[in-house]
Amino acid sequence: MIPDRLPPLDSIAAERAVRRLDQLTKPPGSLGRLERLAVELAAIQGESLPQVAPPAMLVFAADHGVAAEGVSAFPQEVTVQMVANFTAGGAAINVFARQHAAHLEVIDVGVATPLPDGAARHPRLVNEKVRLGTANMLENDAMTRDEALQAMAAGARAAKRAASAGSRCLIIGEMGIANTTASSALLAVLTGGPVAGLVGNGTGLDASGVAHKRSVIERALAARRPDRNDPLGALAAVGGLEIAAMAGAFLGGAEQRLPLLVDGFIATVAALVGRRLCPGLREYLIFGHRSQEPGHELALKALDARPLLDFGLRLGEGTGAALAFPLLDSACRLLSEMATFDDAGIGAGS
């Protein structure tokens, strides 16, 4: 289920994109990073004139047993309330999905509270529930290895559905109260970084709340003792079902040669898990924004990533990646719609 390898980038498509960029009515390289982004998209899709529209937005939702330790400013019930909001079309990611004419799915891989009938039956909601939230990582492994693999498989299926529906790019987001706690714990394992430098205020903790959250993570890591060289085991020990599903969606999307627009802290940790399981994933990842969560900087460094935006965001849902999507679309349109010197009858040396 975890791919041994992913399709290699298409160097021929990338070279053709470079040649076309140099023929367009502008000084070579004058559009800077946008040009490099266009070449990157060509290599990922294997097309000298890539397209990223329409995108798919996949929001994975699950609960976390560690929420019982008071590590979030909001109660666990907010997870199910926000899932209902997603299906009703009222969340920030819904706004951006409408803006970009995106295919939007909300995938329940572990919401602990029953969904209202209207949300549960909504066509935007996909029921892939593995279990009713994770266990409290202070007391037990968050999930079994098999459950982590089941959630990853659900993510891969969502990516393949999006590709089958004609989506040309994936924006992958999440919802789950206490998932910054799970992500911080998982990142500490995978990077060996100290917990103190990773933990932020999540959805609005004060200083004492952040200190408590840090203590919970440190105690959980001492109790679980996950191995940084076993990413699947670490995911099962201290991760989350939606984090596992996101990792699976990244891998499944790469198998379909889709550009993967990574959101903030939690999505980046999921991408790091995916890359540790299959190193070739990194070539398909494009990082949308830099989160306010302090751990995001370390996660980005672990992936040698430079985000497109820095807007001080910390919402999740895929919103930061959605805001960055127009840059990818502009890079594609630059290649396909801008005139060459020959088209415009302009001498390249003039």
Q: Catalytic positions, please?
A: 317
How far apart are alpha carbons 66 and 208 in whole angstroms? 17
How far apart are alpha carbons 137 and 163 in whole angstroms? 35
R_g of the chain, CA atoms, integer Å? 20
Q: Which residue has 């959980």 as its token pair?
A: 220
231 close to 273: Cβ distance less than 8 angstroms: yes
How far apart are alpha carbons 81 and 234 in whole angstroms? 29
Q: Which residue has 């549960």 as its token pair?
A: 120
How far apart are alpha carbons 172 and 262 in whole angstroms? 6
- Classify strands 260-262 and 285-287 as parallel, antiparallel or unpaired: parallel
3-state secondary structure of 53: coil
The DSSP code for 172 is: E
Alpha-carbon distances, residue 125 vs 121, 179, 245 (angstroms): 7, 20, 15
Q: Which residue has 């993570």 as its token pair?
A: 217
